[in-house]
Structure 1
């Protein structure tokens, strides 16, 4: 199913129904039906913004259509939707395993590795970039 293209105007979430392109050499704006594919130098507009279109002074507007209506879903869209539903029904839902807490709700004690040669002065153990230092009462 192809996604619905939205109006490119800021803060507008309506579906696009028209495509606007500029011909700078002729100072012309061309407003026509929604293009099949989105082009980087064109603008998709909803029906409200397509009707309110204004251009700079001295420019011409060529309207290739007078009414812009959203295209109905095509047969391809309906088949893609049906296939997606079939695929989703075949896939078993993910098993969610609840997180297990340690017995008694306390974390496991840190194992002290006092005989490791790479530990610095006063270090008890390292885990990655973290290290446990010997405290005043740990001697």
Structure 2
């Protein structure tokens, strides 16, 4: 599935609609429609950032398009999304694994027992606290 490319401006989560490239030798910025694939030396911009584009003083801007429209999802995208949803619904959740302590020490196993209050010297209980009979009592 072809993922929607996002604007490369920091903190912007809108979909990209234009591609910006620089020709440093000519001091020119070229802004055109979204390229078919992401390039490492090009910047994908959303409509807002494409319209607000400014360049350094002395540079020229070549705009290859005046209106930037997001591309609608293709049939391939919709089919891939449907297949991903089907695959996710078929998978069985894995059993949860208990968290490990730092250093790799195993956590102590939890044991459940019904304590005999008299055997432990317990004379009362409040929530999770127990009141034990002391030696001097």
Measured against the shorter chain, the TM-score band is 0.5 to 0.7
**Which residue, out of 101, 107, 119, partners 2:110?**
101
| Partner Cα distance (2:55, 2:89) in 1 | 50
TM-score (norm 1): 0.67
Q: Which residue does 2:56 correspond to in 1?
A: 56
Q: Displacement, 1:98?
A: 9.0
Q: For 1:61-89, what per-residue CA distance to the aligned partner results, in whole angstroms no more than 9, with x for missing partners?
A: 11111111111101110110111122123
Q: Which residue does 1:135 correspond to in 2?
A: none
TM-score (norm 2): 0.68
Q: Which residue does 2:84 correspond to in 1?
A: 84
User: CA-atom RMSD, angstroms?
Assistant: 2.3
Q: Which residue does 1:115 correspond to in 2?
A: none
Residue-pair matches, total: 105
Aligned pairs (5 A) from 1:60-139 = 60-95=60-95, 101-104=110-113
Q: Which residue does 2:122 correspond to in 1?
A: none
Q: Which runs of 5+ in 2 are unaligned?
A: 100-108, 115-137
Q: Displacement, 1:103?
A: 2.3
Q: Which residue does 2:13 correspond to in 1?
A: 13
Q: Which runs of 5+ in 1 are unaligned?
A: 106-139
Q: Displacement, 1:49?
A: 0.5
Q: For 1:29-69, what per-residue CA distance to the aligned partner results, in whole angstroms no more than 9, with x for missing partners?
A: 00011112111111111100000001111211111111111
